A and B are shown apart, each in its own frame.
Chain A
């Protein structure tokens, strides 16, 4: 989910020395993924083999791929960052924001996706409603996947530039070529298989780092003690301003009950449960074709329904791997163990030059004034004592030393660098290669996942539907391959766009939010209420998307300037932050996101429902058989082993998830 750019993180890598063995581990991984692509080539006979895996993949593979399609590098880096910033409450993104939705998908929605024989999520929308809703969904999805892929590629190329000293362009094109090679050979199947490989790579690459970190802080109980200190004085390590209850980093729910001011996320209970837990989570896991495609590739209905259930098991325990390291880093930082600190934001070259001018001028001015000037030159919060000491020492130091000392004085943290700071701290050569290959693997499979979802939607939902219907399967197979190449080229264009224009990334992620927020209302009404008409669905979805854009233009998160981050409508009307009513003021960006989702969902739900009642039905009961809950014969799972029935399995998994929430209450 929404995570910041990686471009700063990469600079921290400069000091990581790679040995021969680390390169060997990386090369072996690349050889294996390409090898898998070539091994699968002989199974790719029809367009459906290539684009939808011919519905033939074993369930443990689709299950792990379902989960790891979402476990991209941005997720890994972002969740660790949040672990440090918010503590154990970050687990809500898993236990509240994923598990219930995955179980719902398995039990209630998969029968329609899989049973309707739709080849994609947009195609289901066409069967249920009409071409308009499908076109709206498939076009926005296609654009989103390309940009996601571009963002991922851009981050990867920057990482490799720092890591291996590869030229940005060269690594961008080489990595794209690797992905192109194995997707072109093995299609969706190869993307899914490499996602599973990536899953093991991440787990087995990062588990020892977490183990070493936990051992270093003195175990779980000692970590909890340290995090209590963090909660009482978060500013000591450059975290959120203000004081929180002593359990703010170590309890998942208690800090939420006190309202948005009493937890570092700045989120209240309603926004968490309804906004994240219902709207955003169900909207992502139940309707995003990138993940649903994995389940649709399963070999039969039982496997398709079991896919999200199998995925929910690793998903539940994944916080150990992605959130715990962030908490460990916060613990290490507060106790200053071995001089550890959270990685600081990196000072830009230009800012150094300005600051050095101020430094030279400093001895002639009063201390406060020169401190202010230097802070402004750097553009970040600095440590006053360190700057004062530097002013004294500066004349005797060479330029490089001065730069190092300035960097050291920065108080603001670069949270995206947290995971790599731990890798750097604990990993000897060998293990280092394993962890970094895990990270690179997740970047590459992220691209592959996006490209394989894109080529299916393009070929079946746009090309076959609107441009060239009724051609031979060979033709669509050819198109599937051709558009894989085009998709990768367009992703590269998006990568350059994001790298050249930093704001592009923020705006793209904003637009993703607008498009995704209302989507689940359309599916919910479509699948469970036969009266929903195609007019209702189309205008409801359109209205919901506009509602989210409108909400964004009037909501304000504390600390932000009015503008692209929200609330710009007030500026246009000539008002200031103080004029915004209390109910549109939120404690954090996250709170705005959750409330925006809740609002957009409600608008879409009400509009779709209202318009459906006001318009005549467009599809008869007979046409909706297999597409709507009440008109579809219930699946009888009686022949299966009782404990393996999706509903039974789902209830058990939900119980375990509730138990986890209670334990870390």
Chain B
């Protein structure tokens, strides 16, 4: 099946990452009291962003490899 689940996972968590980071940066600093003074939205948002980007990278990398394999297969034929 040519549907790669890593793409929606990467997109969704990337989007969450952007939302949380922005919210942590521009949101009410009062909120950080709950999270022990840590700007957890920003920190975790950045982590999610990296996670999403990695997923997309792996998906892209996988697609590239797949294409090369298909090429070498069709060449053999």
Residues of A with Cβ closer than 8 Å to B? 21, 24-25, 28-29, 32, 35-36, 39-40, 43, 54, 56-58, 61, 189, 193, 196-197, 200, 204, 208, 212, 215-216, 425-431, 434
The answer to whether A204 and B13 have CB atoms under 8 Å apart is yes
Q: Are B19 and A430 in contact (CB under 8 A)?
A: yes
Q: Are A428 and B34 in contact (CB under 8 A)?
A: yes
> What are the interface flags for B7-51 relative to A under an 8 Å C-beta threshold, 1 for contact and 0 otherwise?
011011101100110011001000110111010110011001001
Are B13 and A427 within 8 A (Cβ)? no
B1 touching A56 by the CB < 8 A rule?
yes
Most-contacted residue by chain A among B5, B11, B19, B38 (CB, 10 A): B5
25 contacts between A and B (CB under 8 A): A21-B20, A25-B19, A28-B16, A32-B11, A35-B8, A43-B1, A43-B3, A58-B5, A193-B8, A196-B5, A197-B5, A204-B13, A208-B40, A215-B36, A216-B36, A426-B34, A426-B35, A427-B34, A427-B40, A428-B35, A428-B40, A428-B41, A430-B41, A434-B16, A434-B20
In the complex, the answer to whether B5 meets A28 with C-beta atoms within 8 Å is no
- SS class of chain A's interface: helix, strand, loop or mixed? helix
CB pair A430–B20 under 8 Å, yes or no, is: yes
**Chain B residues positioned under 8 Å from A56 (CB to CB):** 1
Chain A residues lying within 8 Å of B24, measured Cβ to Cβ, are 430
- Give min CB distance, A396 to chain B, whole Å: 32
For A212, list chain B residues within 8 Å (CB): 35-36, 38, 40
Write out the residue numbers on chain B whose beta carbons fall within 8 Å of the beta carbon of A54. Answer: 1
Residues of chain B within 8 A (CB-CB) of A429 are: 23, 27, 31, 41
How far apart sit A111 and B19, CA to CA, in the bound complex (Å)? 46
Structural contact, B1 and A21, CB atoms closer than 8 A: no
Residue in A40, A58, A200, A428 whose beta carbon sits within 8 Å of that of B31 in the complex: A428
Return A462 CB to nearest CB of chain B, in Å: 28
Q: Which residues of A contact B45 (CB under 8 A)?
A: 430
Are A430 and B34 in contact, CB atoms less than 8 angstroms apart? no
Q: In the complex the two chains form, is B16's CB within 8 Å of A21's CB?
A: no
- Are B27 and A28 neighbours in the complex by a CB distance under 8 Å? no
Nearest CB to that of B23 among chain A residues? A430
Q: How many residues of B contact A (CB 8 A)?
A: 27
- Which residue of B19, B41, B44 contacts A24 across the interface (Cβ within 8 Å)? B19
Residue on A with the closest CB to B17? A204
In order of increasing CB-CB distance, the 9 nearest A-B pairs are: A428-B31, A430-B41, A430-B23, A56-B1, A32-B12, A430-B20, A208-B44, A428-B34, A21-B23
For the complex, give the distance between the alpha carbons of A57 and B5 in Å: 10
- A residues within 8 A CB of B12? 28-29, 32, 197
Q: Which residues of B contact A32 (CB under 8 A)?
A: 8, 11-12
> In the assembled complex, which residues on chain A have CB atoms less than 8 Å from the CB atom of B20?
21, 430-431, 434
User: Roughly how many angstroms separate A200 CA and B19 CA in the complex, as a whole number?
Assistant: 17
How many Å lie between the Cα of A426 and that of B40 in the bound state? 10
Residues of B within 8 A of A431 (CB): 20, 35, 40-41, 44
Contacts of B44 in A (CB 8 A): 208, 431, 434
Chain B residues within an 8 Å CB radius of A24: 19
Chain A neighbourhood of B16, CB < 8 A: 25, 28, 434
Residues of A within 8 Å of B13, CB to CB, are: 200, 204
Alpha-carbon separation in the docked complex, A430 to B28 (Å): 12
B27 partner residues in chain A, CB cutoff 8 A: 21, 428-430
A24 vs B16: C-alpha distance when bound (angstroms): 9
Asked if A196 contacts B48 (CB within 8 A), the reply is no
| Residue from the list B9, B19, B40 in contact with A21, Cβ < 8 A | B19
> Residue on B with the closest CB to A64?
B5
Q: Please give, as numbers and ranges, the residues of chain A lying within 8 Å of B34 by CB-CB distance.
A: 425-428
- B residues less than 8 Å from A189 (CB atoms): 1
Closest residue on chain B to residue A40 by CB atoms: B3
B46 CB, nearest partner CB in chain A, Å: 12
Q: How far is the CA of A431 from the CA of B39 in the complex (A)?
A: 11
B residues less than 8 Å from A36 (CB atoms): 5, 8
| Centre residue among B3, B19, B27 by max chain A CB count within 10 A | B3
The chain A residue with its CB closest to the CB of B34 is A428
**Other than the known A427-B35, A430-B27, what 18 A-B pairs have Cβ atoms closer than 8 Å?**
A24-B19, A28-B15, A36-B8, A54-B1, A193-B8, A196-B5, A197-B8, A200-B9, A204-B48, A208-B40, A212-B35, A212-B36, A212-B38, A425-B34, A428-B35, A429-B27, A429-B31, A434-B20
Return chain A residues, CB-CB under 8 Å to B19.
Answer: 21, 24-25, 430
> Is A193 a contact partner of B5 (Cβ separation < 8 A)?
yes
* Residues on B with beta carbons closer than 8 Å to the beta carbon of A21: 19-20, 23, 27
* A40 / chain B contacts, CB cutoff of 8 Å: 3
Within the assembled complex, what's the spacing in Å between the Cα atoms of A208 and B38? Answer: 11
Please measure, in the bound complex, the distance between the C-alpha atom of A56 and the C-alpha atom of B32, giving whole angstroms. Answer: 46
**Measured CA separation A430–B35 after assembly (Å):** 12
A280 to B77, CA, bound (A): 52
B1 CB contacts on chain A under 8 angstroms = 43, 54, 56-57, 189
Residue of B nearest to A299 (CB): B1
Most buried by B among A35, A425, A434: A434
Q: Which residue of A lies closest to B2 (CB)?
A: A43
Complex CA–CA separation, A208 to B1 (angstroms): 35
